[in-house]
A and B are shown apart, each in its own frame.
Chain A
């Protein structure tokens, strides 16, 4: 009998595993990381000593619960950490574990692959000392490090304030927080954010705390240049009224998150444009069923909803899977989960209004700005190809190599789409989408193969 497989041991994957186990299923749980928890609840190495409160703040209870759940489930599932799923086809997954490739047949699969930061590059962003907001958080949470001595946080989104707060609380020197969203946007979004009062309260708390502790927070503030010889030494930012230079040695920035959809793509899921995420996402119904039979989607890997939603979506997708296999599931629980997810969906709409996507980013991008850091492709290179008449993103990729590097467009894809859209005069949704190509992450030559 082919197993039921879950890809990703973050909050979505762990709740899915728990739900399946509770119904007597023995699933396979694959995870790229060594320890479960995903990114938001990433565990520190086993020999670290900080408390959960120190690591996760207000989310400590949730993080503990997730970690404990996985621990308790160890006997009830086939848990395979340090395992990369690098390719997927209908009914089969290709894995890589300690240099050994193996094939795993599955009966049904829950894809819970999470997200990474969404990056709108700024000149100088490849300098040592520049990291994504998620990276800055991982440095602290996972390694007890700050990304530098004098750190500036920039971009927008709830993570901006959270990480800046975490850094300051941990004793780092936070030079400033530059939120590209105007205060007016956040004020207008407030009513929508009341759908999740606790989450809103935390966000406001982080923000207020920073100000109370003397850390400058600027709204409507955008990075224009990061400078330094071989590492960050200073940066320039602007707002409507001013342009300033800041001495610093590290910068963390991002504008929200982007879903890791490569495996869903390789599994043949239909994609649809999501205006809220400003991205192409694998379609899922309210229960997490994709367009492909036997493939379920849960968590941020199919649309950014946050950790709480990921837990619910993981459980709901597992229930859908069970239902589709003929198991009896609790319909009230299903309805409850879907209602909660819908409420969170409303909240996410509010967040998008509060942390506005900088629509003018592409028009402000200068020719010399590097978009694809793997292949070192600049805005000018992209503009030239579009000027020659190419506008479909895979076509543009073929001509100037944007997105052809090791990261396969994770870091540059969103930005490249914005540039192409602007240069070609088309909407971002009308320029096509980058197709996933195996391996979703680099795999080594000379690998061993499990017979």
Chain B
């Protein structure tokens, strides 16, 4: 399942990446958020009820799209471009 729907610009080179340890694919020019949400339905779990979140503002303001990369860095998925071979982990959040 996917959240976002590609309407245009589909003719771009594919970029393979890993999502939570599973192989996935996006397109060159995708943000991490686009790549994740065109093949799944959330980017993180909320901090206090582990509810699925998929970003909200897409402009780096709401801070609801943080994901973890393979090198340990955490980035805002909406503000970060997808790179080939990226290992993206979604944080499950917590039920407090």
Contact = CB atoms under 8 A, between A and B. Distances in A.
A30 B11 CA distance: 32
A146 B57 contact: no
A170 to B, nearest CB: 5
Given A47-B28, A128-B41, A135 B7 contact: no
Given A39-B59, A376-B47, A128 B4 contact: no
Interface string A105-129: 0000000000011000000001111
A132 B29 contact: no
B9 A48 contact: yes
Q: Which 10 interchain pairs have the tightest Cβ spacing?
A: A128-B54, A406-B63, A144-B9, A135-B58, A45-B29, A144-B8, A145-B4, A138-B58, A407-B63, A376-B48
13 contacts: A126-B53, A128-B52, A128-B53, A132-B58, A142-B58, A146-B4, A149-B5, A230-B42, A231-B3, A373-B53, A407-B63, A410-B62, A441-B63
B34 interface: yes
A131 B56 contact: yes
B5 A145 contact: yes
B41 A138 contact: no
Contacts of B51: 126
B81 A139 contact: no
Given A128-B54, A376-B49, 9 more contacts: A32-B79, A47-B12, A48-B9, A116-B61, A127-B52, A128-B41, A132-B56, A145-B38, A410-B57
Given A47-B28, A231-B52, A376-B48, A170 B7 contact: yes
Interface of B: 1, 3-12, 28-31, 34, 37-38, 41-42, 46-49, 51-64, 66, 73-74, 79, 81
Contacts of A442: 63
Contacts of B38: 145
Nearest to B28: A47
A116 B59 CA distance: 8
Contacts of A50: 8-9
A143 B30 contact: yes
Contacts of A99: 73
Given A45-B81, A135-B56, A410 B42 contact: no
A114 B1 CA distance: 35
Contact of B61 (A149, A405, A407): A407
A148 interface: yes
A131 B55 contact: yes
A56 to B, nearest CB: 14
A451 interface: no
A85 B55 CA distance: 22
Interface of A: 32-34, 39, 44-50, 54, 99, 116-117, 126-132, 134-135, 138-140, 142-149, 170-172, 230-231, 250, 260, 373-376, 405-407, 410-411, 441-442, 444
A147 B81 contact: no
B11 to A, nearest CB: 8
Give the interface SS of chain A, mostly helix, strand, loop or mixed.
loop
Contact of B46 (A116, A126, A410): A126
A405 B63 contact: yes
B18 to A, nearest CB: 21
Contacts of B55: 131, 135
Nearest to A230: B52
Contacts of A48: 9, 12, 29
A169 to B, nearest CB: 10
Nearest to A401: B48
A128 B3 contact: yes
A405 B47 CA distance: 10
A134 B55 CA distance: 12
Given A47-B28, A145-B34, A138 B59 contact: yes
A441 B60 contact: yes
A35 B52 CA distance: 30
B42 A134 contact: no
Contacts of A147: 3-5
A135 B57 contact: yes
B74 to A, nearest CB: 7
> Considering residues A34, A145, A147, which has the most beta carbons from chain B within 10 angstroms of its beta carbon?
A145
Contacts of B60: 32, 441
B83 to A, nearest CB: 13
A172 B61 CA distance: 25
Given A131-B55, A145-B34, A444-B73, A172 B62 contact: no
B17 to A, nearest CB: 16
Contacts of A411: 56-57, 61-62
Nearest to B1: A231
Contacts of A143: 4, 9, 29-31, 34
Nearest to A140: B7
Given A47-B28, A139-B4, A231-B41, A376 B46 contact: yes
